[in-house]
Amino acid sequence: MRLFNSLLALALCLAAACADAALPLNLEHTIELRAQISASPVVAQGRLYIGAENGNLYAFDLASRKLAWLYHAGAGIGSTPAVAEGIVYVLARDGLLHAVDAQSGVQLWEFATQGEARFDSYGLHGRARKSAATGDPWDFWLSSPVVAGGRVYFGSSDGRLYALNAMTGEMQWSFKSGGMIHAAPAVSGKALVFGSWDGAVYALDAVNGKQLWRYQTEQKTGNTTGVQAPPLIDGDTVYIGSRDAYFYALDLASGKMKWRYNGNGSWVLSGAVSDAGSVYFGTSDSNLLVALDKRTGKPLFEHDTKVWTYATPLLSEGAVFGATMRGELFALDAATGKLQWSWRTAESAADEFGLLAPDTGKFNGQRLYEGRHSVLASIEHVKRLGAFIAAPIWHDGQLLAATADGRLLFFGAGAGAVRTP
């Protein structure tokens, strides 16, 4: 089966497609969707597919950059589409997984989970306990589907990992974890790996759904510990970040920890990518794009991104691309971490709400957190900077990225690009 899944492709570095990367890059085209975007775009057979929080799944012809079709899911889309065998799969916030014909945009079938929701808790992030639970403002994504072996796999807020027949939508099996599942699973051979909001990483038999192993990450005091990041399977190792402030390398066969990287109190929500010797990922409060020796976990470099970096990075030949919550894209030399190129949105440079400290470029904590309801409001202002929550992708010599406030950006190597010294 020909597999098109954006998160899995990112995890595998998009090696073949990225080989022609050239720097610097210039913004060549913008498509305005006018809807918030949390999940990443994916390219398959000459089209770009992307879901938005207005409930629309868009298909754009890449040659003309014109809309081929639009499918309305009936609820916001917080998952990255998977495309395989002429079908697009995407999960919506009303609990329905949609299967849509990739050429026409006509629905083929839908499957109902027991419901999708944002993670919430009482007294969240140290706030006073109230009669109602508070939604976590950093719980951006739903689980993104993955297609392999004739099945489509995805997790749900109902705590289950589902395996459906990819052609008919008939459920093959489901597995109940101890918490919500809001990240994409990963498949390698017969092993299916995913993280849950119960703070555990699970490996299942992809054929029958039987548990192979379970690894429990650190449990902290409070109620925000969970595994929100998608796993990367590279050979015999699973790489995955957690809200417990560690990034883990686990043995794929046994689930035993090989090593872990200490994030010094910072969540790791980003997915990871790897090359022959290194693994790369972003962090939250420590504001880093990190490169580790993938065999030992030893840091090779830690690049200061100024602000939270939740989007999974992208590897091209010799460069690693990052995307941050202040609306910045950048490229580093993958071996040394030296900055090669950067670009920021005009909204980020203007910063009308004053979220960025002018002397450091970091978030202004007082501005971000002041007031009773400031966090939820401020996250919306962060999105208006042109923040990147979705991961960038590479296709046919272009860098493609989607901003949280609803723009599709196309970058190419051409005249007028500005290289950062």
Give the residue extent of every domain in the chain: 3-121+138-345+386-412
Contacts of 231 (CB under 8 A, 6+ apart): 183, 185, 186, 193, 194, 195, 201, 238, 239, 240, 271
Q: Are 294 and 308 in contact (CB under 8 A)?
A: no
Query: Which tokens hold the place of 290?
Result: 């990190």
Of 138, 135, 20, nearest to 380 by C-alpha is 138
pLDDT in tens, the chain (421 residues): 434 333 333 333 333 333 345 789 999 999 999 999 999 999 999 999 999 999 999 999 999 999 999 999 999 999 999 999 999 999 999 999 999 999 999 999 999 999 998 888 776 666 666 667 778 888 999 999 999 999 999 999 999 999 999 999 999 999 999 999 999 999 999 999 999 999 999 999 999 999 999 999 997 655 677 999 999 999 999 999 999 999 999 999 999 999 999 999 999 999 999 999 999 999 999 999 999 999 999 999 999 999 999 999 999 878 999 999 999 999 999 999 999 999 999 999 999 989 999 999 999 988 887 765 567 788 999 999 999 999 999 999 999 999 999 999 999 986 444 433 2
Q: What is the largest CA-CA distance in the chain?
A: 58
Opening angle at CA 266, ends 345 and 135, nearest 5: 75
What integer pLDDT is reported at residue 267 of this predicted model? 94
CB-hemisphere CA count at 13 Å for 10?
A: 33
**Alpha carbon distance 74, 406 (integer Å):** 18
What integer pLDDT is reported at residue 178 of this predicted model? 95
What integer pLDDT is reported at residue 376 of this predicted model? 77
**Alpha carbon distance 310, 40 (integer Å):** 12
What integer pLDDT is reported at residue 362 of this predicted model? 96
The CATH number given to 3-121+138-345+386-412 is: 2.130.10.10
**Alpha carbon distance 204, 226 (integer Å):** 19
Query: What residues pair up with 59 in beta bridges, in sequence order?
Result: 49, 69
What integer pLDDT is reported at residue 367 of this predicted model? 83
Burial class (CB in 10 A: 0-12, 13-18, 19+), 69: middle
Pairing mode, strands 278-282 and 273-274: antiparallel
